[in-house]
Chain A
Amino acid sequence: MTETVETLSCQELVELVTDYLEGALPAYDRARFDAHIEACDGCTRYLAQIRVTIELTGRLTHEQLDPAAEAALLEAFRDWKTE
């Protein structure tokens, strides 16, 4: 008898995507994840979309510091130094 690996459903897989990308899945689950992805177009696309989402989020511009707030902090810095 061959050893059976319990397969992962698509609905289960989408909940494991972050753990997968974070390298936090135990080896057994990682193998099940990879096996499922290999055979499933929907989940392959889903994983690709999450990767694109992360990549595009990284393109958002960082918040700029308001010049008045920056000036106030630098002013405070000068006071602290003389204390």
Chain B
Amino acid sequence: MYMKNEFGHIQAAHCENGVTTNLLRNIGVNKITEPLAFGIGSGLFFVYIPLLKINNGPAIAFRTMPGLIFKRTCASLGIEVIRKKFSSKETAEKFLMERLADGQPVGCQVGVYYLSYFPKEYRFHFNAHNLIVYGKEKDNFLISDPIMEAVTTLTTYELERVRFAKGALAPRGQIYYPKEGKIITDDQIRKAIKSGIKRNVRDMLSIPGNIAGVKGIRYTGKKIKKWRDKLGQQKAGLYLAQLVRMQEEIGTGGGGFRYIYAAFLQEAFAFHPYEEFLEISKVFTKAGDLWRNAAVQAAGIYKGRIGTQQDFNVMGDYLLEISEVEKNAFEALSNIKWHS
């Protein structure tokens, strides 16, 4: 079996942004960069689900639900998507092989626990990683994993294992790709940017409850101040370490995706020349910087260098400040007077 399809691999910060931009480029949509995909897909988010535990730590996310960025970006641009899940491994592989034979690279949702080219330290039971399969050579599937600098391979067995990882968000062999190439006009991108921003404003400012959006950041800040007494020094440190990992590990581009969003607003300016975008972009840079400063404070605690209640208060106050900064930024975005 020999099927080597050409594929222009482009590295990205985040896997889903990368799969989205790479698959779109493959069908001739060249203007969608990683920040544009992220912004059009309304990727920026925050949520802390106190009752849910992930790897014995808090469930915190800095971005929207896995899968939504691809879905929303394609929908906003009027690109039809094919998406399939499978109950049988054989059918899943057959479907994949048929697409590759057609020369169609496909996005695959996979679990990272058995992802052989990842270092062991990163292999947790996380099932919402995304990569592109673009060909097959002998027993090796050719893989473009957007977080990697270069393309890589997985054997048939290895690919099957990660496509059928089990547990929360089990991929069930999920494959997705844009149905066909289309000419995307600047006007469509302009509209997509507008709807992406409006949806992100809604998600961050008006989502009900107090655990998500800018209110969720505030809520988490208040909780953190209580972690020392409630959990004890060691476990509180572990929780903060998990917060930092969610914020900075693989693919956030730094500062919990806030820098990517700031980059998006700069790129959006090319399509909607409102000076406000450049100003608000700076506010998101500031938010990202504050998240990074908070991470340094957290590190002081989980390294055991500091750890008084006052240190936890400083940590919590960072999040209260960030909540305000992001609230102002999204309110400024919601006040934009759109001319088109």
Q: Do A and B come from one complex?
A: no
Which B residues fall within an 8 A CB radius of A? Answer: none
